[in-house]
Amino acid sequence: MRKRISKNIDYAKFGFLPYQVRWLEDESKIKIYEKSRRIGITYAQSFEDVIDAGVYGMYDVWFSSNNDLNAREYIRYCKSYASTLDLIIKDVTGETVTEDAKTYCIEFKNGCRITAVSSSPEQLHGKGGKMVLDEFARREDEAETWEAASPAALIWDYPIRIISTHKGKNSMFYAFLKKVRKGLVRWSHHKTTFTEAVAQGLADKVKDRALNDTERQEYIDTVKEEVADDTIWDQQFMCEAADESETFIPYALLEANASTELLPFSELKDCKTLYAGLDIGRFKNLSLLWVIEQVSSVHYITRFIRPIEGTDFPRQEEIINPFASLPNMRRICIDQTGMGIGLTDYLQLRHGKSKIEGVTFTGPVKESMAFRVKKWLEDHIFNVPDDQTIHDDFHSVKKEVTTAGNIRLKADTNNKTNSHADWFWGAALACEAANSKPYNKPKVTTRKAKLKGRLNKLLKGFQK
């Protein structure tokens, strides 16, 4: 097997930044990268893989990410570098990229291949060659993925690359990093936060000109403001894994159900049976009306959302009345906790208690509604809009498991939208209005407890 000599390659000539160059020059058998989002590590990794497979003909490369979109993006990078380096790609069909069951492959004239696969661990079983595990923490099957990929290094001495942003302290990625920091595994560790990347030229590259320190800081501040959530910023941009307070609704679950377009009020009358939820706010937080349509016995689609901010309750009643008066509106559940009780009374007086139902937000009631939303999303029977503000709001809800085994849900106020998970609770109340089945409390088992028993077994042969 031929060896790549990094010192013979001028990486700066290809526009790589210092932190990318350090990664490319590191020829360790196993490298792990703790990184910020969108700083170009996968981009640099694709260059390393083209060099190893296409230039030196060292081995085949198998790339696995957490979704199909990332696999496509990676193979486009590889294809671009192959063209830049004037490498000949062997393909009798005349196409440089072939697709088969979410598998994307480039084959070089020397016989080596780079193959990007979807997230399924099964596609890595029995494969020989260099393994690249991209966004490792951001998948539910970390252990199975490692189990499938690790024999390539352990038995056949092929390299492994593990690249990811953080996804909490209960991930296997975080557990790996703890082992690395304690010197228990012989792996090379790289870490780059967003601010470090900007200091090393990321913003200059984005703006395509030399920036001064003030401009770089303004760039950081702008991105942070757009993120608008300190937990997301700390974890996904500053490489600080979140504490044991776990995200309740992951982005992937929302993205998998984001396939609906909202309707104007005038078209709601043409829908089938409607249900709605109204989360109440007045000064500190907004009120949020969420309307869903039951399109089948087990499928609900979001049809209308109305944030109501800084509005007195008489005016809020005027806003809600037309929705409650719709002939196909079956039920509206309203948060009657505290200040919401008066608005609930007035709406019930006008529309009846069968259509307007007050819900008191006790701990068990909130738990019941929240887990119903999550279960409907997991079962793909509840569609939400493809809107980042809404997704961020749902994502802001955190789950804590107390020492007594009880579940506690909490959410910090989003300063940008003035929301305290109001979109989430509006949706939860709408689902409550449509609900006809009893709530079964989930069994509490933490991912950390499951992972702890397997970790040493999975790292057998890699530890000192």
pLDDT (tens digit, 9 = 90+) per residue, 70-101? 888 999 999 999 998 888 765 423 333 444 44
- What is the percentage of the chain residues whose pLDDT exceeds 70? 86
Token duo for residue 293: 């349509």
- DSSP secondary-structure letter at 443? P
**pLDDT of the residue at 344:** 93
CATH architecture of 251-434: 2-Layer Sandwich (3.30)
Query: Which range, 328-332, 360-364, 445-449, 455-459, has the best average confidence (pLDDT)?
Result: 328-332
Q: Is the pLDDT of residue 240 over 90?
A: yes
Chain segment 5-24, per-residue pLDDT in tens: 555 788 988 999 999 999 99
Chain segment 175-197, per-residue pLDDT in tens: 999 999 999 998 999 999 999 99
Token duo for residue 359: 């819900």
- What is the percentage of the chain residues whose pLDDT exceeds 90? 56
Query: What's the mean pLDDT when you consider all of the chain?
Result: 86
Please state the pTM of the whole predicted model: 0.62
**pLDDT of the residue at 41:** 97
In which element (H, E) is residue 151 found? Answer: helix 151-154
Residues of the chain with CATH 3.40.50.300: 6-200
Give 358 or 406, the one with higher predicted confidence.
358
Chain segment 95-137, per-residue pLDDT in tens: 334 444 478 899 999 999 999 987 778 888 878 899 999 999 9
Q: Is the pLDDT of residue 444 over 50?
A: no
Lowest pLDDT segment from 276-280, 346-350, 457-461? 457-461
**pLDDT of the residue at 453:** 60
In which element (H, E) is residue 458 found? Answer: helix 447-458
Give 378 or 259, the one with higher predicted confidence.
378
In which element (H, E) is residue 191 found? Answer: strand 188-192
Give 284 or 412, the one with higher predicted confidence.
412
Q: Is the pLDDT of residue 224 over 80?
A: yes
Strands 30-35 and 188-192: parallel
Q: Is the pLDDT of residue 169 over 60?
A: yes
Chain segment 446-457, per-residue pLDDT in tens: 555 555 666 777
Lowest pLDDT segment from 38-42, 224-228, 283-287, 438-442? 438-442
**pLDDT of the residue at 335:** 92
Residues of the chain with CATH 3.30.420.240: 251-434
Record: fold of 6-200: Rossmann fold (3.40.50)
pLDDT confidence bin for 250, thresholds 50/70/90:
confident
Q: Is the pLDDT of residue 409 over 60?
A: yes
Token duo for residue 156: 């056949």
**Sequence-separated (6 or more) residues with CB below 8 Å from residue 194:** 36, 37, 39, 202, 220, 223, 237, 238
Q: What is the mean pLDDT of residues 272-294?
A: 87
Q: Which residues of 402-432 are buried (b: 16+ CB within 10 A; e: fewer)?
A: eeeeebebebeebeebebbbbbbbbbbbbbb
**pLDDT of the residue at 442:** 53
**pLDDT of the residue at 426:** 96
DSSP 234-294: HHHTS-----SSEESS-HHHHHHTEEE----HHHHTTSSEEEEEEE--SSSS-EEEEEEEE
Q: What is the mean pLDDT of residues 378-390?
A: 92
Give 216 or 398, the one with higher predicted confidence.
216
Lowest pLDDT segment from 40-54, 280-294, 412-426? 412-426
Q: What angle do CA 412, 414, 419 make, to 5 degrees?
A: 95
